[in-house]
Amino acid sequence: GPVGRTFTRFATSSLGVRDRGAGALDLCYVACGRFDGYWEIDQSPWDVAAGGLLVEEAGGRMSNFRAGPFDIFGGETVASNGKIHDQILAVLAMPGGIPKRYRPPMRRR
């Protein structure tokens, strides 16, 4: 499917890809410099809120898949050290990848 295709594109165009299965931890790894970038879809707000803040406070960059503002309720997370953010977005935008609206955003309560 589209997520698998996108994962493969990252694997072939980078020095390595890891999926630890814990978004909050992966965002902390971006914030501290252990990871250069991170992308995920369909995460809950509690999985990305604190980590996203840490990335931004450490000087990194957060956005949705189209370089728009990061929204913890939006369902799209892109995090980076800031240096490779545009490259991550370019891979996500390739034809046949993840659709522009993979799923509706979560409702704010």
User: For residue 64, is pLDDT > 60?
Assistant: yes
pLDDT grade, residue 77 (50/70/90)?
very high
Burial class, 53, CB count within 10 angstroms (exposed 0-12 / middle 13-18 / buried 19+): middle
Q: Quick check: helix, strand or coil at residue 90?
A: helix
Domain 2-92: state its class.
alpha beta
User: For residue 105, is pLDDT > 70?
Assistant: no
What is the mean pLDDT of the segment spanning 41-65?
95
- Max CA distance (Å), the chain: 40
User: For residue 13, is pLDDT > 80?
Assistant: no
